[in-house]
């Protein structure tokens, strides 16, 4: 791995931080992780590096801060060219960005609606979530990856969020595989990549994290 | 202007459509506008071109559809290189994308909260809106444009939404200029550009449009 001055302000359970780590792994860039204690108080460095949102991930490259995970992954792709995460043709790039934006707007929030609710509201949340999965399954089609033959931008953005799928399934009492088998196969395929496997935490641990999160939020 | 096979599915009052038109004007690209009747029924072409959101703007370039205004502007910038709308340095590009994303997430919705509400809720909405203006004013600083000396990506994304500012001011009973004088000066400066002036409609007409919109939504 190349040695660069790259520091990530991180939270292990954040799929948005996982995106940045997978992108850095794909590019073979060494980085230092600095864990933020989001409940115990944010570091001065986080507050000054991301004054607008005060959120992780923040990537510090040669001391200069970058915020918002999809923008950071784009920066990583432009800064370290190989292997490319976006296609070279402007139309295909725009299509990839459309699906990145779709996942950003929909997927994690829809999953949050599952574990934050109960009863009828939760049933609606599960239905909405499954609709999004089906949409993504349609985009994936019979390709190995959203990027086609190679694992790319949309794959990174989406696979990180799948680390929470077990928690969504357990709270919502459904199975992703039953509704989106091709997407499930894509998750397994992507998890076989070393760059992904070493970043994504055990989904059971994420499930425990969500249980604790609910307790802390007084939602039992 | 260059002749290209460029068609825009358009609504005159949509700031998101204005963005695309300003970007095309900046690049000197001829395009055909096809007005969509968003209340009377959307065209088959819109529904098949943007099946996910069924929303304008859609840009058809050589028959191939592109959706989501910021992504379309990015595509325009990559397809027709001159003049560049984004800086060439990856860090400056990421910074510009951060503010595009900020404006996308915040500005138009915050303005909508002003004309959709009354009383105390409206007072809060005006306050929130002014906070966003102040944040943008801070980013602009003493520069001529968000892009520095030249009118760029963040300028296009933001100036389009200012076409609704008069409506926000009238419903919210405040003046943008009183809270963000530098931003106001930037609006005037940008409006002097031919590419902007020919695209942005009369703000009084937008105000009337919002009055009619409220009536149609049963919000008088």
CATH of the domain at A16: 3.40.30.10
Tell me which residue in B61, B74, B90 faces A75 most closely, judged by beta carbons: B90
B103 near A CB under 8 A? no
Q: Is residue B84 part of a domain?
A: no
Q: Which residues of A41-63 are buried (b: 16+ CB within 10 A; e: fewer)?
A: ebeeebeebbeeeebbbbbbbee
Task: Among A79, A99, A126, identify where a domain stops.
Answer: A79
Nearest to A19 by CA among A94, A70, A78: A70
The domain tally of chain B equals 2
Contact check, Cβ <8 Å, B71/A97: yes
Domain boundary among A79, A103, A131: A79
- Per-residue pLDDT at B141 exceeds 70: yes
**Cα nearest neighbour of B77 on chain A:** A90
Q: Judge whether A206 lies within some domain.
A: yes
Residues B70, B148, single domain; the answer is no
Report residue B200's pLDDT band, with 50, 70 and 90 as the boundaries. very high
| Shortest CA gap B73–chain A (Å) | 10
CATH number of the CATH domain containing B119: 1.20.1050.10
Do A114 and A68 share a structural domain?
Answer: no
Q: Is residue B28 part of a domain?
A: yes
pLDDT in tens, B145-165: 998 999 999 999 999 999 999
Residues A123 and A20 reside in one and the same domain: no
Same domain, B162 and B124: yes
Residue A137 and residue A66 share a domain = no
Q: Please check whether residues A44 and A138 belong to one and the same domain.
A: no
| B85 in a structural domain | no
User: Is there a domain that residue A62 lies in?
Assistant: yes
Claim to verify: residue A35 and residue A130 sit in the same structural domain:
no
Whether residue A125 is found in the same domain as residue A169? yes
Q: Do B152 and B73 share a structural domain?
A: no
DSSP code at position A31 = -
Q: What are phi and psi of B103, to 5 degrees?
A: -65, -45
pLDDT > 90 in chain B, percent: 93
Residues 6+ apart with CB under 8 A from B94: A66, A71, A72, A74, A75, A78
Three-class HEC string of B179-201: HCHHHHHHHHHHHCCHHHHCCCC
Task: Tell whether A79 lies on the interface with B, counting CB pairs under 8 A.
Answer: yes
Q: Is residue A46 part of a domain?
A: yes
Q: What is the mean pLDDT of residues B16-45?
A: 94
Show which of B27, B47, B79 is a domain's final residue: B79
A119 in any annotated domain: yes
> pLDDT category, B39, cuts 50, 70, 90?
confident
**Is A20 within 8 Å of chain B by CB?**
no
pLDDT confidence band for B2 (50 / 70 / 90): low
pLDDT tens-place values along chain A, 220 residues long: 566 799 999 999 999 999 999 999 999 999 999 999 877 789 999 999 999 999 999 999 999 999 999 999 999 999 999 999 999 999 999 999 999 999 999 999 999 999 999 999 999 999 999 999 999 999 999 999 998 999 999 999 999 999 999 999 999 999 999 999 999 999 999 999 999 999 999 999 999 999 999 999 898 7
pLDDT above 70: residue B1: no
Q: What integer best gives the mean pLDDT of chain B?
A: 96
Residues of B in Cβ contact (< 8 Å) with A74: 94, 97
pLDDT of residue B3: 65
Q: Are residues A74 and A113 in the same domain?
A: no
Residue A67: phi, psi to the nearest 5?
-125, 165
pLDDT at A4: 76
- Specify the pLDDT at position A40: 79
Contact B93 A101 (CB under 8 A): no
Residue A196 belongs to domain spanning: 90-216
pLDDT digits (tens, 9 = 90+) for B180-193: 999 999 999 999 99
Q: Does some domain include residue A50?
A: yes
pLDDT(B38) > 80: no
Res. B37 pLDDT band, cuts 50 70 90: confident
Q: How far is B219 from chain A (nearest CA, A)?
A: 27
Distance between CA A102 and CA A96 in Å, rounded?
10
Same domain, B184 and B133: yes
Looking at the fold, whether A103 and A143 belong to one and the same domain comes out as yes
ipTM of the complex: 0.96
Query: How much is the average pLDDT of B6-31?
Result: 98
């Amino acid at each position: 791995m190349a040695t660069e001055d790259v520091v990530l302000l991180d939270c292990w359970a954040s799929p948005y931080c996982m995106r940045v780590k997978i992108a850095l792994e794909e590019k073979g860039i060494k980085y230092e992780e600095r864990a933020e204690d989001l409940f115990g108080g944010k570091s001065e460095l986080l507050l000054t590096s991301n004054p607008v949102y005060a959120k992780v991930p923040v990537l510090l490259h040669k001391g200069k801060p970058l915020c918002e995970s999809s923008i950071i992954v784009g920066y990583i792709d432009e800064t370290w060219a190989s292997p490319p995460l976006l296609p070279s043709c402007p139309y295909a790039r725009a299509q990839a960005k459309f699906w990145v934006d779709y996942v950003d707007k929909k997927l994690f929030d829809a999953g949050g609606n599952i574990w934050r609710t109960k009863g009828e509201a939760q049933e609606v949340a599960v239905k909405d979530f499954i609709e999004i999965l089906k949409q993504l399954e349609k985009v994936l089609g019979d390709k190995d990856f959203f990027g086609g033959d190679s694992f790319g931008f949309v794959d990174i953005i989406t696979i990180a969020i799948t680390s929470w799928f077990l928690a969504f399934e357990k709270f919502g009492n459904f199975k992703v595989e039953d509704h989106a088998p091709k997407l499930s196969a894509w998750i397994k395929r992507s998890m076989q990549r070393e760059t992904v496997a070493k970043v994504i935490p055990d989904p059971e641990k994420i499930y425990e994290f969500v249980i604790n999160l609910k307790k802390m939020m007084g939602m039992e």
